[in-house]
Structure 1
Amino acid sequence: MTLRDMRDSRGDSIRLLAHRADVPPQSITRWESGDRDPHRMRLDTACRLATALGLSLDDFWANL
């Protein structure tokens, strides 16, 4: 599963997820496109994304 899959499963747009997680939309776009490796994101960013997606941090990392 990818970040895009997790986002799409909730029906969230990039902008909505970015707003909920307090992350620039460009960062989400880069992780989803492969321009940036999502496994190298900062822990605090991963925590915010996991929360915004309704996942535990463990589930977020396992699905990434």
Structure 2
Amino acid sequence: MDISQIIKSNREKQNMSINLLAKKAGISQSSLSRIEAGINSPTFEVLERIVTALGLSLSNFFANVQPEMEPDLKRLFDTVKVLTTEQRQALQVFLECMKH
């Protein structure tokens, strides 16, 4: 999940309206809407205010942030996850041979 999705997810888990979170964070509802939609990225100061308004620490918040993976790598990773240990080892040997 990216930052915008985590903000929205945490807000919804707490049954908090976008207006209430915006008020608690001291930002406009339209700014928060654009952040949750991924249109705008919050400054660190604004993110810190949002996270605090959600009752979270920055470390807990960022523990849920994962970088976006390219679609082809995600598909490969999803395939590898279902392989047995032996199959993964064989695939690793194959991939290492392809590097040379």
TM-score w.r.t. the length of structure 1 is: 0.80
For 2:38, which of 34, 40, 43 is the aligned residue? 34
**CA distance in 1: counterparts of 2:62 and 2:51, whole angstroms:** 9
Structure possessing the higher radius of gyration over alpha carbons: 2
Higher relative contact order (CA closer than 8 Å, sequence separation 6+): 1
Q: Partner letter of residue 25 of structure 1? A: Q
- Using the aligned pairs only, state the percent identity: 38
The corresponding residue for 1:56 is 57
TM-score w.r.t. the length of structure 2 is: 0.54
Q: Partner letter of residue 32 of structure 1? A: E
Structure 1 stretches lacking a partner, 5+ long = none
The corresponding residue for 1:24 is 28
Q: How many residues align?
A: 61
RMSD value, Cα: 1.5
Q: Offset at 1:61?
A: 2.7
**CA distance in 2: counterparts of 1:5 and 1:28, whole angstroms:** 13
The corresponding residue for 2:15 is 11
Structure 2 stretches lacking a partner, 5+ long = 66-100
